[in-house]
Structure 1
Amino acid sequence: MFQMRQYLTVLLLAGAVKSQVNPAVCRYPLGMTGGQIQDEDISASSQWSESTAARYGRLDFDDGDGAWCPDVMVEPVNLKEFLQIDLRTLHFVTLVGTQGRHADGVGNEFAQRYKVKYSRDGTRWVSWRDRQGRQIIEGNSNAYDVVLKDLEPPIIARFVRFMPVTDPSMIVCMRVELYGCEWLDGLVSYSAPAGQQMFFRGQQIFLNDTVYDGAISYSMTEGLGQLTDGSWGLDDFTKSQVYGVWPGYDYVGWTNASFPGGLVEMTFEFDRVRNFTSMKVHCNNMYTWGVKMFRQAVCYFRSDSDWEPNPVVFKLKADNISPSARFVTVALGNRMASAIRCRFAFNDIWMMFSEIAFQSDTAVYNTSLVPRKRNQTPGNHPGDDPTHKIDDSNTRILIGCLVAIIVILLAIIIIILWRQVWQKMIEKASRRMLDDELTVRLSVQREAFTHRHSSLSSDVESTSTYERIFPMESDYQEPSRLLRKLPEFQATENLAMIDAPSEPSTAHPTDEAPHYAEADIVSQQEAAGAHSYRVTVVNMPLSPGRDGALEEFPRERLTFKEKLGEGQFGEVHLCEAEGMQEFMKDHCGDISDEPMLVAVKTLREDANKNARNDFLKEIRIISRLRDPNIIRLLAVCVESDPLCMITEYMENGDLNQFLSRHELQDEGVPADDSATISYRILIHMASQISSGMKYLSSLNFVHRDLATRNCLVGTNNTIKIADFGMSRNLYRGDYYRIQGRAVLPIRWMSWESILLGKFTMASDMWAFGVTLWEILTLCKEQPYAQFTDEQVIENTGEFFRDQNKQVYLPKPHCCPDSVYSLMLSCWKRNAKERPTFLEIHSTLMEYHD
């Protein structure tokens, strides 16, 4: 078991999501090759002829004379020639690709070296430098091959220029592409005191912002740098995730002795007025070395020329328990501003930041639900591979085939050795473990975490790729799909997997349900000394009304407000819908004639057939759910592409953000403003969640991702359970990657879900206990905030061993002993001893009354 725990720890460390904007996956082509960048957005200093104009500088295009060429030879000293691209909005650019002018052998011009300049406003231009200060990028060695170069550090820009460099003077031609993703924070600059130096344990620690692209003297002004480069610092600030840099490289830090007032002031400028909900600051907390997270943050806001007098004040308690670096979330209370000025108060001798990100409700996105013409080029999608390129070279094809054969042979050898190692581990475990439950399921643990399903056959395999994923995370899989994609292994596990119910007259064993519509009704049978699975299909009773057949909604009545998330083949948008009332004839209660907020899930036009089928199946399943505390599917748009499903959305947003903006109302004191909330209301909210889960459990449906981020808040504190939380960038830290594939909310998961891959209604009960804890702490911190991801896994092992060494979530300040006992009952080691949602709901109703 110790070896198993070490293995899981390595997996979690290797797969942890690194940042708000992850440069490793933010690498999508931005439109030179695909045509999304229009000709009018491509310009140049000059052109040799009309047939070598700037618009012909697109990677892999052979139009015109095959590339952009300046009208004069490029000089080695005076770099005046450039090819410029306007991305229209700010983008996070991580990769560039270049190519010469081959023109079917007629021309043979290319740039052996080049520089990149960029600008966010079109007036102030900055030369890109790597982390060692070098500006020159090695380019092409011939005219036809594409050469990709990482921009490390990445840049945040709207305008980008490619400037060929030669020695001696010569004629060059270029075709280019940019790779990255949209910069959704909208941050165009931050200003702060310059980072300082620390002398620590005999070495000099440089805590300056090395890649800052603004002016630097005693302070940093009008630039961006390491605080927005998508890389977090380690717990030990003397070490770095970047190879070959100096101690302290990842952090910008200041000492209290240099600031008489004990405050560090930072100003953040944005592209436009935004509605800010929160700011996330990644802080170091090596308190034994005199470094702590800030004690208090006071943030002022400016929408026009003057700063508003009423700031947001956020106070943070000192943590002398865990030295782990972490994100601190500062609630900004939905303040409107184009600039924010925050003053951070020292809590010790030193204060260090490595990343700052903002969450805001942005304006209308440039995305349309109107059907696209058949010959129109689709947009960039997370599935696009920037390194993929068709190559007609026979030599390359031969080399590729040989490499593929070698890789396959190595994979076969590794799999054989891997299985032998695991077989020995299982044999040892079977002799040591007294608990039969783990003995019969241990092999599935291996499969669930390694996902080596490509080498095994399956009769219950789904190729669906329409899953809600984090923005810029192309390989994300939500927990609901993790085990569904696993084949029927020759293993011993009572797996939580079931085909979605369909109409009794047309039941089909391949229908799949969404992740909150799956039951763990599987029986175990032995055959030839091994176990196999028998999947039982449950026919869900049809709800009254339209029998799940929803009406077509006129898509022109939808007005975009905000993008909630996106996946490989789908997106989720917050919209206003006009005239939705006529589609809600069976809705109980009064309905206003005003436009209502809805969430719109769309399926991109390039989605494959399996994704389309899964999307339609999801519509059929969700349309049958009818409960006051479950988000309801209202209408669909399926007569033309893109396919859409329209669901409810609550005006107060998700429960996590709603509660984090409130403080607990003192008992016996009447509420004096909207910023306080009573304990009685908190219990009422929890009872509504238990009511919705009671309804799902009555249908044998398993949610798999119950948390406050997946609950929406309406008027009069109405709560409805949804599933949008995992698609939002704000909650990336709540999910952890395993082996680069599975992303799981491990802090909400039961021990059997993490170790055995078993999702049941009892595991949903475990998650409800964590959700209740979140509610009573007003979502001020993440569950097990003092633990790293690997420590959470280790604690899970203690729950399995049940030797009284496991660590439970602490009792919230406002929580009575009876309610805390209720939480603890949700986290019982034996799943059969956990209460049902019917029992939980009845108990909470008694507490509320």
Structure 2
Amino acid sequence: AEFFSYFWKSVCRSPLGMSRGQILDEDISASSQWSDSTAAKYGRLDCEEGDGAWCPEIAGEPENMNEFLQIDLRSLHFITLVGTQGRHAGGIGNEFAQTYKIKYSRDGSRWISWRNRQGKEVIEGNRNAYDIVLKDLEPPIIARFVRFMPVIDHSMNVCMRVELYGCEWLDGLVSYNSPLGQQMTLNGHHIYLNDSVYDGAMGYSMTEGLGQLTDGMCGLDDFTHSHVYNVWPGYDYVGWTNESFLSGYVEIMFEFDRTRNFTTMKVHCNNMFSRRVKTFQKVVCYFRSELDWEATPISFSPVMDDVNPSARFVTVSLYNHMASAIKCQYYFSDIWMMFSEITFQSDTAMYNTTLAPPKTGPPIRDDPTHKVDDSNTRILIGCLVAIIFILVVIIVIILWRQVWQKMLEKVSRRMLDDELTASLSIQSETFTYNNNNSPSSVSSEQESNSTYERIFPLGPDYQEPSRLVRKLPEFSQTSEDTGDVQEGVPHYAEADIVNLQGVTGGNTYAVPALTMDLLSGKDVAVEEFPRKLLTFKEKLGEGQFGEVHLCEAEGMQDFMDEDFSFDVIENQTVLVAVKMLRADANKNARNDFLKEIKIMSRLKGPNIIRLLAVCMSSDPLCMITEYMENGDLNQFLSRHEPEGMIALLSNAPTVSYSNLHHMASQIASGMKYLSSLNFVHRDLATRNCLVGKNYTIKIADFGMSRNLYSGDYYRIQGRAVLPIRWMSWESILLGKFTTSSDVWAFGVTLWEMLTFCKEQPYSQLSDEQVIENTGEFFRDQRRQIYLPQPPMCPDPVYKLMLSCWNRNTKERPSFQEIHQTLLDLD
């Protein structure tokens, strides 16, 4: 599973261009206008042009609303938030819409009325003519055309200014056809597994619409509970029973906006096998390009899991099939099968594919590629386009450098000039942290930098309205208030996003630029290992460009450094983890993989997983690292109990407090070693600590790539991940990853250990509430929620945890201090 709970409320919330003018006047229309000066083009949020807003010509009846302000986004967008404002016009106007409705369309012909998850259409609007009111769309909508329809009650005139927030809908999915979801009876209670937000036709089946399978919300492990309050059990899932399908499978057809080149499909499935619910046994997918279905389908069978009941994403490779529609048959492996989200990764096909204009409304102006028979003409056009593109890039770089220098000079003053609102605007497939362009000294507090990490100051054009609903923390604090915010660095910013994941799906250590420069001049002293001596045991995880496998290796002792050896009998096979880069990975992925090898080759701490050897002579490139025989610490502790009466009664294996203490000290020792090199781990947790003999601990980086821990990461549309429950407030809000943020994660890891990993951190909070809690840490008004003291946790150890979660980063202990404290408490 790759991207954190699909479409995060602080993500995919960028303004789409009404207020800033990216949406052109010609793309804004209305049913009527009071005058030329209140035409549709003046209905832009936070603008005062014309007479200050769009105003309809007449007041329609409330039960027969025909007045609307329409926006054409020119392509499909995922819209999560809307903003409205009345006509203020410098104090002259006093017209606003107290309530309104929204209709939307994907093709310009079929219009759909938006309803919230409880079925309510009417949205609460403005209470005066000047304040901006933002409303979350729950569920979000996928649309090209959006209409704002004011509810008019004749008590006042109505005018509107509006904005849409979201991001482009990269999946290109315009509808899915599916059997209706069904009802389960469980212990006398009804579990409704229907697609309650589906916006197409619903008869014997669902056709020509989108719904819960694309609403950005992944279901919980227990399908009888829901992310959404005040709804019925089973709400998050669409489910079917095999008793209704004699064929043994459920068939879903997916229609797309145009012919696309498909790489993968990800299906979020429930696997609560104790309730006779499992992931699908097999899926068979057919592809339609142009008008005909291909005769040969692809088939995929995931590994069945009867041990871990967690919901998870199942990734199905589509092998770059070209299609405008996909029909998939999902075969039952038990009585029930439940899905909560299905996403596709694809690129637009680059041959003659035109998108037909809608039956009504303005023509669609997406740029189709027209068929040209003359191959020489195609080559000439391609060369011209490439030359134009290069010239444009050069001009943009020159202008950007000039603007950047000016912005850096002014950013310190601008950050304190006015109250700003944090806008985490994540639109790409990665996550960022701060990058100071000028070299800085190497210290344990140095921010992690990388050659592919960038962050830009938040200029006035990016400021959101001051009266936001559920806004993130105010920015009135000085640099002293916020701890160690580096002077002159735009620490609150709208950020381009950089990937936390390595190419094989695991975490990548953050290495300061200066340290990376020192490493870059050295050769990697790692020996080549014969592939034939590796035996595949289990697939641990995967990323976009690679996979992690558990293997047995023969003769590995011959490849060890003098300062390292395995504690095994000679000629005995040993377990190793093999990170493998796919042969079709692009150049950037290969460079990142080689960089990861270079970094790992320098790590030789006794509590850090070691790089043992590589396979570089041919594709696929591989790096071979240690793997500990008892697996990861999370699974290890969850299988054990603390010493005491419960363990005696259940006859369960136990781990003593002294052994827990010993393991915690080793984690602190490993992190002390990493911090001494100015390396930032960014994903410290029990899932990333491996357990060997005699409770030996070594820190690794596989957790992010494993389906087993998909629930520990907050996802967006299957394209990036963040372990928010382990992250410090400044990492979530400011994008800062430092040794101090690793210290915060160590406190959470220590809490996990003392609860024997029986529950997730902040299990009583939803992901959104966890993010909101970070705002309380920033405001520091004593309303923030801390993890509670575990029952078997001594007071001095809990005091150590609380110090790791100190709001001021400079007041958190260093890993050297943590390690010494744990030794003193032994």
1:471 aligned partner: 427
2:708 pairs with 1:785: yes
Cα distance in 2, alignment partners of residues 315 and 121 from structure 1: 35
Identity score, percent? 51
1:239 maps onto 2:225 in alignment:
yes
Give a deviation string over 1:402-452, Cα, whole Å, max 9, x none.
xx9xxxxxxxxxxxxxxxxxxxxxxxxxxxxxxxxxxxxxxxxxxxxxxxx
Counterpart Cα distance in 1 of 2:8 and 2:497? 19
In 1, the alpha carbon distance for the partners of 2:180 and 2:261 equals: 29
User: SS at the partner of 1:292?
Assistant: coil
Structure 1 pair 42/132, CA: closer, same or farther in 2 (3 Å)? same
- The structure-2 alpha-carbon separation of the partners of 1:699 and 1:177, relative to structure 1 and needing over 3 Å to count, comes to same
Deviation at 1:105, TM superposition (A): 3.0
Gaps of 5+ in 1: 1-15, 379-389, 405-464, 489-494, 501-511, 517-532, 534-566, 574-613, 631-653, 665-681, 722-749, 773-778, 806-830, 832-849
Matching residue within 353, 358, 369 for 2:393: 369
Q: 1:299 to 1:794 in 2, by over 3 A?
A: farther
Any residues of structure 2 matched to 1:282-431 within 5 Å, and which? 282-362=268-348, 369=393, 371=395
Alignment of 1:745-824 (within 5 A): 751-752=667-668, 758=674, 782-783=705-706, 785=708, 789=712
Question: What CA distance in whole angstroms lies between the structure 2 residues aligned with 1:134 and 1:334?
Answer: 41
Is 1:88 aligned with 2:110?
Answer: no
Task: Kindly indicate whether residue 204 of structure 2 is the aligned counterpart of residue 218 of structure 1.
Answer: yes
Q: Does structure 2 conserve the Cα–Cα contact (< 8 Å) formed by 1:331 and 1:660?
A: no
Deviation per residue, 1:455-510 (Å, 9 max, x gap): xxxxxxxxxx999x963699x545x989x99999xxxxxx856699xxxxxxxxxx
Query: Aligned with 2:34: secondary structure?
Result: coil
Q: Tell me the CA shift for residue 135 of structure 1.
A: 0.8
**CA deviation map 1:245-303 (0-9, x unaligned):** 01111100000000001110001111122211111111111111111111001111112
From 221, 244, 256, the counterpart of 1:258: 244
Give the TM-score of the pair, scaled to structure 2.
0.53
2:640 counterpart of 1:717: no
Compared CA separation, residues 278 and 47, structure 1 to 2 (3 A): same
Report how far residue 785 of structure 1 moved: 2.1
C-alpha offsets along residues 648-669 of structure 1, whole Å, 9 cap, x if unaligned? Answer: xxxxxx994566799x9xxxxx
The change in CA–CA distance for 1:615 and 1:117 in structure 2 (over 3 A counts) is farther
Q: Does residue 1:135 correspond to 2:37, yes or no?
A: no
Q: Deviations over 1:366-390 (max 9, x none)?
A: 9973646989xx9xxxxxxxxxxx9
Query: For the structure 1 residues 292 and 513, does the alpha-carbon distance in structure 2 shift closer, same or farther, using more than 3 Å as the test?
Result: closer
Measured in 2, the distance between the counterparts of 1:102 and 1:625 equals 62
User: 1:185 deviation in Å?
Assistant: 1.2
Q: 1:111 aligns with which of 97, 100, 107?
A: 97
Task: Describe the shift of the 1:317–1:697 C-alpha distance in structure 2 as closer, same or farther (beyond 3 A).
Answer: closer
- Distance between the aligned counterparts of 1:705 and 1:47, measured in 2? 68
Measure how far apart 1:155 and its partner are. 0.6
The Cα offsets for residues 700-743 of structure 1, whole Å up to 9 and x where unpaired, read as 899x99999xxx9999526499xxxxxxxxxxxxxxxxxxxxxx
Are 2:188 and 1:202 aligned? yes
Q: Distance in 2 between matches of 1:177 and 1:683?
A: 45
Structure-1 residue corresponding to 2:152: 166
Secondary structure at the residue paired with 1:121? coil
Distance 1:471 1:71 in 2: 38
The answer on whether the counterparts of 2:40 and 2:54 sit within 8 Å (CA) in structure 1 is yes
- Partner of residue 560, structure 2: none
Q: How far, CA to CA, are the matches of 1:277 and 1:207 in structure 2?
A: 29
Aligned partner of residue 148 in structure 1, secondary structure: strand
Shift in CA distance, 89/691, structure 1 to aligned 2, threshold 3 Å: closer
2:326 alignment partner AA: I
- Partner amino acid, structure 2, of 1:335: H
Distance verdict in 2 for CA 1:760–1:661, change over 3 Å: closer
Distance 1:707 1:32 in 2: 53
Match of 2:27 in 1: 41
> 1: CA distance between counterparts of 2:80 and 2:283?
32
3-state SS, counterpart of residue 227 of structure 1: helix
Q: Displacement of 1:759 after TM fit?
A: 5.1
Which of 124, 145, 152 is the matching residue for 2:138? Answer: 152
Deviation digits for residues 608-664 of structure 1 (CA, Å, limit 9, x no counterpart): xxxxxx99978994996687999xxxxxxxxxxxxxxxxxxxxxxx994566799x9
Identify if the C-alpha distance between structure 1 residues 498 and 363 changes in structure 2 by more than 3 Å, giving closer, same or farther.
farther
CA distance in structure 2 between the partners assigned to 1:282 and 1:68 by the alignment: 43
1:75 paired residue among 39, 43, 61: 61
Whether the 8 Å contact between 2:167 and 2:427 is mirrored in structure 1 is no
Question: What displacement does 1:345 show?
Answer: 0.2
Structure 2 CA distance for partners of 1:104 and 1:707, relative to 1, 3 Å: farther
> Equivalent residue for 2:478?
none
The Cα shift of 1:319 comes to 1.2
Alignment match, 2:490: none
Asked whether 1:32 is paired with 2:18, we answer: yes
Q: Which residue of 2 aligns with 1:446?
A: none
Letter in 2 for 1:200: L
In the alignment, the residues of structure 2 paired with residue 799 and residue 76 of structure 1 have an alpha-carbon distance, to the nearest angstrom, of: 56
Corresponding residue for 1:460? none
Whether the 8 Å contact between 1:751 and 1:797 is mirrored in structure 2 is no
How do residues 605-754 of structure 1 correspond to structure 2 at under 5 angstroms?
Answer: 621=517, 656-657=543-544, 695-696=598-599, 717=619, 719=621, 751-752=667-668
SS in 1 for 2:292: coil
Q: Tell me the distance in 2 between the aligned counterparts of 1:95 and 1:53.
A: 24
Q: Which amino acid aligns with 1:717?
A: D
- Asked if the contact 2:43–2:54 (Cα under 8 Å) also holds between the matched residues in 1, the reply is yes
Distance of 2:221 and 2:324 partners within structure 1: 33
Rounded to whole Å, the distance in 2 between the matches of 1:211 and 1:35 is 32
Question: How far has the Cα of 1:684 moved from its partner?
Answer: 9.1
1:54 matched to which residue of 2? 40
Shift of 1:25: 2.2
User: Which residue identity is paired with 1:132?
Assistant: Q
CA distance in 2, matches of 1:103, 1:126: 33
Residue 49 of structure 2 corresponds to 63
Give, in angstroms, the shift of residue 797 of structure 1. Answer: 6.2
Residue 39 of structure 1 aligns with an amino acid whose one-letter code is D
**Which AA in structure 2 matches 1:249?**
Y
Q: CA deviation at 1:170?
A: 5.2
Output the amino acid matched with 2:62: P
Q: Which runs of 5+ in 2 are unaligned?
A: 351-365, 368-388, 404-414, 454-483, 485-492, 500-509, 527-540, 552-577, 584-589, 624-665, 691-701, 713-724, 727-744, 759-814, 816-826
State which of 110, 114, 122 in structure 1 corresponds to 2:108: 122
1:522-562 alpha-carbon deviations (Å, 9 max, x no partner): xxxxxxxxxxx9xxxxxxxxxxxxxxxxxxxxxxxxxxxxx
Secondary structure in structure 1 of the residue aligned to 2:313: strand
Q: Which deviates further from its counterpart, 308-317 or 58-67?
A: 308-317
Root-mean-square deviation (Å): 5.7
Give the Cα separation in 2 of the matches to 1:82 and 1:118. 11
| Counterparts of 1:486 and 1:477, CA distance in 2 | 19
Mapped to 1, the partners of 2:155 and 2:240 lie a distance apart of 47
Contact 1:281–1:355 (Cα < 8 Å) also in 2: yes
Distance apart, 1:796 and its partner CA: 6.9
Do the aligned partners of residues 783 and 684 (structure 1) sit closer, same or farther apart at CA in structure 2, a change above 3 Å counting?
closer
Q: State the one-letter code of the partner of 1:181.
A: C
